[in-house]
Structure 1
């Protein structure tokens, strides 16, 4: 586990929030062919608040919980740290490979996190996931967590925008995906709950844009891939509740 320092400024009343880059890597020696880079491995590289105060601890706990949920395909309630997650991932692969000797396809898990936006009101972190644990295909996703820089608490999506933003986003969504205004939102094969448009689980902030990302399976089949909307900051700032 290694760290690289990153400084994030908060508002003038709160002390500076210091981030390091947390790196965790683990490789299984079972069925491993290093020359062909064909080994089961897990890698985690994410921002990590280095203060010992409650703000840093709270922010880090949200990052840790998020990564565990991304990678822990078995929903193991006993996982309580990223180091434990990495070791469990390797152990699960080795147990599976020993139980089924003919199974020799390596597993892979990699999460990379980056701070994509920072201001006095919000810190947005993007997490890129690549996961393969056997089967016909792996899984990739991009997720976001948004934090209050002053307290370290997680900001819910409902706190980000006014109610009018959902209507604005739906108009753009229908236009981009060729869904007529007078047709149900699921008329082209999507599966929004109750056939009503909803904002995605993941909303991320970047320096000049807002990203709304529906990952695979969220509103469409895996074969449809991800669906993403992007808005320039200037065109949606009138809907902001928090910035």
Structure 2
């Protein structure tokens, strides 16, 4: 009887651990390319483990890359896969060269992804895309993606906070200091949270892409609100 009781406890504990293991996601870095490609370089994290969670995460990452490589209206991107979007980008460049054979302008695209925070509750990933289609300068854009670690679903910024207004009030002094340190001329009385917000090891990072709130020459504006200031307003715990 003593043996049977302990066996039942052990089996129950094993099942519990196995179920928890299924929820865990591991990331590996992969390089994505196609044949006949010489101008697009993509290095991104790929989620592995629980198939449902991994599929949600990987699909969103892929959609972000497809959008970045589309040189038309990003919301109207028609490619069904990253590989297809790479081929489309190369084909459009070849068409450009054929139409303007004497031009010295070159196209290139570099897209890199990084897991910047991971816990049992939330995963934050940064996608940095630099795309140059021969203009005066290329386009640099950083996207933060936040995922529910238990489901793989994207977490909207509004769902990161219990009280967005209170967090905004807490974040503003850090924004003001960043603007002052960079010697940027902005109306700091008007302050809106950026579209890119994510967890990091040091705190909540807020990032404004080029041209989002300031001229191109200003570049990216980025700052961190430490967890000891942000924690009262966060839905997901920081570890």
TM-score range, shorter chain: 0.7 to 0.9
User: Normalized per residue, which structure has more helix?
Assistant: 2
Question: Conserved in 1, the CA contact under 8 Å of 2:24 and 2:50?
Answer: no
SS in 2 for 1:241: coil
1:241 and 2:239 are equivalent in the alignment? no
Aligned: 1:217 with 2:211: yes
What SS does the corresponding residue of 2:23 show, helix, strand or coil? coil
Larger Rg: 2
Show the counterpart of 2:62.
64
| TM-score scaled by length of structure 2 | 0.80
CA contact (8 A) 1:27 1:41 kept: no
Matched, 1:142 2:142: yes
Q: Please, what TM-score do these two structures have when normalized by structure 1?
A: 0.79
SS in 2 for 1:177: helix
Give the drift of 1:210: 2.1
Please give the alpha-carbon distance, in whole angstroms, between the structure 2 residues aligned to 1:139 and 1:51. 34
Residue 88 of structure 2: aligned partner:
88
Which residue matches 1:25? 33
Runs ≥4 residues deviating over 6 A: none
Q: Distance in 2 between matches of 1:98 and 1:79?
A: 23
Query: Cα distance 1:189–1:92, how it changes in 2: closer, same or farther (>3 A)?
Result: same
Shift of 1:230: 1.4
Q: Residue 50 of structure 1: SS of its match in structure 2?
A: strand
CA contact (8 A) 1:165 1:239 kept: yes
Describe how 1:199-218 pairs up with structure 2 within 5 A. Answer: 199-218=193-212
What residue number does 2:8 align with? none
State how 1:92-131 maps to structure 2 within 5 Å. 92-131=92-131
Q: Where do 5+ consecutive residues of structure 2 fail to align?
A: 1-18
